[in-house]
Amino acid sequence: MQLFPHICQGISQHKGKSAIHCSAFNLEIEMNAIMQTPSPLRALIWMLGTSFFAILIGVSGRELSAEMSLFQVMFFRNLICLLATITAFLFIGWESVRTNFIGRHIVRNLVHFSATYLWFVGIVSIPMAEVFALEFTTPLWTALLAWIFLGEHLGRRRLVGVLLGFCGVLIILRPGIAIIHPAAMAVIGAAMGLAVVYVLTKSVIKQDSPWTILFWMNLVQLPISLALSLPTWTWPSVSLAPWVLIVGIAGFGVHYSISKALVYADASLVVPFDFLRLPLISVVAWILYNEFLDPFVFIGAAIIVGGSVLNVRRGLSQ
């Protein structure tokens, strides 16, 4: 969840800082306006780390789903990620636990929980490369929702970016030519849900830190995932125990990696790097699950990422 995520949404100025909203499995990055010395190479290395952790989440989710429900997979992910966040608080302090927007965090994470579940439905049902490619549409949905509900200016460049993204989706799904799997629509629903999450985040990011958002995300979702997993609870076998740890650690690691990438490069450079996840997950899925490398997925994803780059650069120029 954390799911999961992955492409930067834009920059808003507040209190002398820049808040960069990213879909990197669901974390909004806030950092000082003055970055460290720019280093595209270091940004690339951290984005490779982001891709690595994102792939681990997908693979571990699919492996665990062989013995447990997706709700239980999400429970272990939330539990371990929450414990990792609390451990971080031991070093950075507990100030980030406090918030004046508990109600908003609850609403935000109800939507986020639903989107994460739909993402996992895609992971266990259709080729992983297709899931990752369709997930790239999240920033495009965000631009549309921000225009509709927040009155943000869409602009010609962003509109072109959105249209390119939808063209990419059509190339991947090929309606009328190929049968559209219901799980593919679930992933698109997940991308739309994550877009709603980022729009809602704009109401709390001005006062709450990324650590606050991460803490409350897992704290709210933990009891929900536990309650939904109890009716079909199954303790994982010894052979799957490592995957339980991996799904949680990777959920935390993907957020940290995207944060570090944005320290060394701005959003317009980081977004294209995010495309690295697609060839990597394609190779992994081919080796582990014998999934066919579909060229239409790569073509469609490249067009979607191109639209996302236009969207992000428009946000940076404003």
Cα–Cα distance, 134 to 305 (Å, whole number): 10
pLDDT of residue 32: 39
Tell me the average pLDDT across 1-15. Answer: 38
Residue 198 backbone dihedrals phi, psi, to 5 degrees: -70, -35
Q: Which amino acid is residue 201, in one-letter code?
A: T
Whose CA is closest to 130, among 276, 296, 308?
296
Cα–Cα distance, 184 to 126 (Å, whole number): 7
Assign 156 a pLDDT band (cuts: 50, 70, 90): confident
10 vs 216, residue with greater confidence: 216
Q: What is the CA radius of gyration of the chain?
A: 18
pLDDT of residue 283: 92
Residue 211, Cβ density class (10 Å: 0-12 exposed, 13-18 middle, ≥19 buried): buried
pLDDT of residue 29: 42
Of the given ranges (24-33, 125-134, 229-238, 264-273), which has the lowest mean pLDDT? 24-33
Tell me the average pLDDT across 37-49. Answer: 83
Q: Is the pLDDT of residue 2 over 90?
A: no
Q: Is the pLDDT of residue 281 over 60?
A: yes
**What is the pTM for the complete model shown?**
0.82
Reported as a single tens digit per residue, the pLDDT across 74-96 is: 999 999 999 999 999 998 888 87
Helix (H, G, I), strand (E, B) or coil at 178: strand
pLDDT of residue 318: 55
Reported as a single tens digit per residue, the pLDDT across 59-74 is: 999 999 999 999 999 9
Q: Where are the domains of the chain?
A: 8-317
Backbone dihedral region of 141: left (phi > 0), alpha (psi from -120 to 50 degrees) or beta?
Answer: alpha
What residues have CB less than 8 Å from 5, skipping those under 6 apart? 22, 23, 24, 25, 26, 54, 135, 138, 194, 254
202 vs 22, residue with greater confidence: 202
Cβ atoms < 10 Å from Cβ of 299: 14
Cα–Cα distance, 38 to 40 (Å, whole number): 6
Angle between helices 295-317 and 277-289 (to 10 degrees): 150
Reported as a single tens digit per residue, the pLDDT across 102-127 is: 998 999 999 999 999 999 999 999 99
Assign 214 a pLDDT band (cuts: 50, 70, 90): confident
Cα–Cα distance, 198 to 120 (Å, whole number): 19
